[in-house]
Amino acid sequence: MTGTEITIDNIAYAKIFMHALKNSYNDVCGILIGKYYNSENETKKCIISNTIPLFHTHILFAFLSLAFTMIEKNCKESGERIIGYYHISADDSKNDNISNIKICDVISDTLIKNYNDALICLVKISKLKDDEDNCIKTFMQDGNGKLKNAKITISNKNKEFLRKSISNHEYDIYYNYFLRIQLYVYMFKFYKYLIKINNLYIYNFVCRIKQFIYLPYFSPLFQIFEYTRF
């Protein structure tokens, strides 16, 4: 419902931008974590308490689906849930509307089907340097199951926290490596299976998977299989 008050915690706000700024030449995406509750005046509120940065190159829907499943399991322990998805296109002119980004169209159908009051956030990086409040374009599921424009409140504390993160060059400190390593393991098993079935075409395609997740310490695992594939 688009009348919901949406706010974002400092850490979640910073992680979105740090993900984009570190990989400014590629599309980036991630998952929004948070919760909904009713305030004393019965206004519905949404708090984005955390974000999970995922990919920073061409995005495969199969791996996005896997990421949603894994993160959903982890959220059950904290009492929070997946509330949406963020995407930042390398072409900043596309970050005005989800219809400009093909993967967002696919993701929006999945979100609406599986999550109530789903959100999609796009970020206009060009507006960040002007300190504009509307640098995050937010779309929320309405009563008819359609994603409509919604307003997200960006506080001065959000902006100050981000400025400190940028000045300290904290581009990696907020990554959730536990989840990303788990996702990597599943990808690795899939990669190993493709080698086993000896499909060279698919194998060469999947060799590019290592570019999808920033896990430099695990890249030697791919190198091993490049020498032992058949």
CATH number, position 10:
3.40.140.10
The answer on pLDDT for 195 being more than 60 is: no
Q: How far apart are CA 194 and CA 202, in angstroms?
A: 7
Domain that residue 107 falls in: 5-167
Instruction: Give the per-residue pLDDT at 223.
Output: 43
Identify the band that residue 226 occupies on the pLDDT scale cut at 50, 70 and 90.
Answer: very low
Percent of the chain with pLDDT over 70: 65
For the residues 86-108, what does the mean pLDDT come to?
A: 83
Indicate if 191 and 97 belong to the same structural domain: no
Among 148, 167, 186, identify where a domain stops. 167
pLDDT digits (tens, 9 = 90+) for 28-57: 888 899 888 876 666 788 889 888 888 776
**What letters, b where the CB count within 10 A reaches 16 and e where it falls short, cover 125-160?**
bebbeeeeeebbbbbbbeeeeebeebebebeeebbe
Kindly state the average pLDDT of the residues 115-131. 79
Answer whether residue 202 shows pLDDT above 60.
Answer: no
The closest alpha carbon to 78, from 54, 50, 55, 53, belongs to 50
- Residue 68: the pLDDT is 80
Q: Who has greater pLDDT, 192 or 228?
A: 192
- In the numeric block, the tokens 């299989």 are attached to 225
- Give the per-residue pLDDT at 130: 62
Are 70 and 131 within one domain? yes
Clarify whether residues 32 and 129 are in a common domain.
yes
159 and 193 both lie in a single domain: no
Q: What is the pLDDT of residues 52-96, one digit of tens each?
A: 888 776 666 677 777 787 788 777 777 788 888 998 888 888 888
pLDDT at 230: 34
| Residues 14 and 113 grouped into a single domain | yes
Residues 216 and 110 in one domain: no
Asked, for residue 74, whether it belongs to a domain, the answer is: yes
Please give the residue that has the higher pLDDT: either 114 or 204.
Answer: 114
Mean pLDDT, the chain, as a whole number? 73
Half-sphere exposure in the Cβ direction for 153 (13 Å, CA): 11
Establish if 172 belongs to a structural domain. Answer: no
φ and ψ at 6, to 5 degrees? -115, 125
Residues 158 and 189 in one domain: no
Residue 229: which pLDDT band, with cuts at 50, 70 and 90?
Answer: very low
What domain count does the chain have?
A: 2
Residue 206 clears pLDDT 70, i.e. is over it: no
Rg (CA), the chain: 18
Q: At what angle do helices 177-196 and 219-227 cross, to 10 degrees?
A: 10
Are 110 and 200 in a shared domain? Answer: no
**Domain for residue 88, yes or no?**
yes
Contacts of 59 (CB under 8 A, 6+ apart): 27, 29, 103, 212
Q: Are residues 99 and 153 in the same domain?
A: yes
Residues 64 and 150 in one domain: yes
Residue 219 pLDDT greater than 70, yes or no: no
Residue 32 confidence (pLDDT)? 92
SS3 at position 1: coil
